[in-house]
Copies of this chain bind each other. A is one copy, B any other.
Amino acid sequence: MERIKLHIAYDGTNFAGYQVQHNQRTVQLVVERALSKMHRQEMKVYTSGRTDSGVHANDQVLHFNSPMTLDCSSWRNALQTLLPKDVKIMHVEKVDESFDARKSAKEKVYRYQIINQREYDVFKRLYEWHVIKPLSMERMRSAAKLIEGTHDFTAFSASKSNVKGDKKRTIKSIDIWEEGDGRIIFEVRGNGFLTHMVRIIVGTLVEIGLGKKDETCITQALETLNRQVLGLTAPSHGLCLWKVIY
């Protein structure tokens, strides 16, 4: 048996998220199908963590165990041939059995892209959130500082969240920068994330940037654990799992 670490990118537009769900096209489903076809037996893959419906990945990490002995470039070519175009193998590595895509992950980096101008971009509409009214970078950056650190992030998770137990997480940093042509990028790094956590962070920072909310809502949410005091959940299509650090 060999343990293989797969780095993949995907366009989340036509997927009902990462995780297998009954009768839905998911990333896990198409990867397991490709592997099962190669192996002529049912194969399972393990991920660093799932992503929601519509969320993209620039560098998601998976692992699986295989009785086959191929070199990494053969793995890459064979799998890519069996995958649809919206999932791309970026890198293949052999790892020892102590590696686990989820448990070994030290940090995750997400990026969220906004186009902040009157008109949206038809060719990027599936990859960025269109916010028409001007956002204050200063207000958003100041509020982001209040989120950084180790907190109970219960208020920053979907009420339907099925994460059991401890909701204490560490957000290492939130960086926000402009990239020209009205683009604003949010980069959120942390040791783990609850369901919808990045989208609630971005949705809240945007409402603060628009002047609809005051940054004190964040301190309040971290104290009261009340989702209601925060802003909206930003739409999934602006979010991208940027990389996983081991």
| Chain A residues within CB distance 8 Å of chain B | 9-11, 56, 85-88, 90, 119-120, 122-123, 125, 127
The dominant DSSP class at the A interface is loop
Known: A9-B123, A11-B123, A86-B122. 7 other contacts (CB 8 A): A10-B122, A85-B125, A86-B125, A87-B122, A88-B119, A88-B120, A90-B119
A56 to chain B: which residues have CB within 8 Å? 123
A122 to chain B: which residues have CB within 8 Å? 9-11, 85-88
Nearest-neighbour CB distance to chain B for A44, whole angstroms, equals 23
A119 to chain B: which residues have CB within 8 Å? 88, 90
Nearest-neighbour CB distance to chain B for A80, whole angstroms, equals 9
A86 to chain B: which residues have CB within 8 Å? 122, 125
A90 to chain B: which residues have CB within 8 Å? 119
Complexed CA–CA distance, A119 and B92 (Å): 14
Q: Which residue of B lies closest to A124 (CB)?
A: B123
Q: Which residue of B lies closest to A8 (CB)?
A: B122
Nearest-neighbour CB distance to chain B for A144, whole angstroms, equals 26
Q: Which residue of B lies closest to A11 (CB)?
A: B122
